[in-house]
């Protein structure tokens, strides 16, 4: 995969990213809109990492670091491009970012029903922590 380009998203990429997530990402998020992704890129310009092949967006990951913890979201690879190392390249870029920032451990949000993603995360060295539960409270009407 020598032609794979990994780079941070820019504001010009956001509409393409949102359309890509509708095709390639499992599930939706309350932040999957232009305003949400725009805020992310404005606040942390290196957090949204893209993979491109021949100028086409083929993968994404959000590598968010809040100064305390390293969070991974929206690892998505184009369905017809999976199992070619794109997800691994994105995770490597995210993990390298975390190390540069002083992060010590990455965590990922993975849907319980998404068995394909669970296999991919496990293959990348991640494991579920059964002793934890995610607790959420919507802060805005959606």
pLDDT above 70: residue 106: yes
Q: How far apart are CA 27 and CA 60, in angstroms?
A: 15
- Predicted TM-score (pTM) of the model is 0.91
Give the mean pLDDT of 53-81.
94
Confidence label for 27 from pLDDT (cuts 50, 70 and 90)? low
């Amino acid at each position: 995969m020598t032609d794979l380009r990994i780079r941070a998203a820019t504001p010009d990429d956001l509409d393409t990213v949102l359309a890509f997530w509708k095709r390639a990402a499992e599930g939706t998020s309350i932040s999957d809109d232009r305003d949400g992704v725009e805020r992310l890129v404005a606040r942390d310009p290196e957090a949204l990492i893209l993979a491109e092949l021949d100028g086409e967006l083929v993968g994404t990951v959000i590598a968010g670091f809040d100064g305390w913890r390293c969070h991974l979201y929206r690892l998505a690879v184009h369905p017809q491009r999976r199992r070619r190392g794109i997800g691994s390249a994105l995770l490597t870029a995210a993990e390298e970012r975390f190390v540069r920032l002083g992060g010590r451990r990455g965590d990922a949000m993975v849907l319980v029903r998404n068995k394909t993603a669970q296999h991919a995360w496990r293959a990348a060295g991640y494991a579920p922590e059964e002793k934890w539960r995610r607790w959420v409270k919507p802060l805005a009407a959606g």
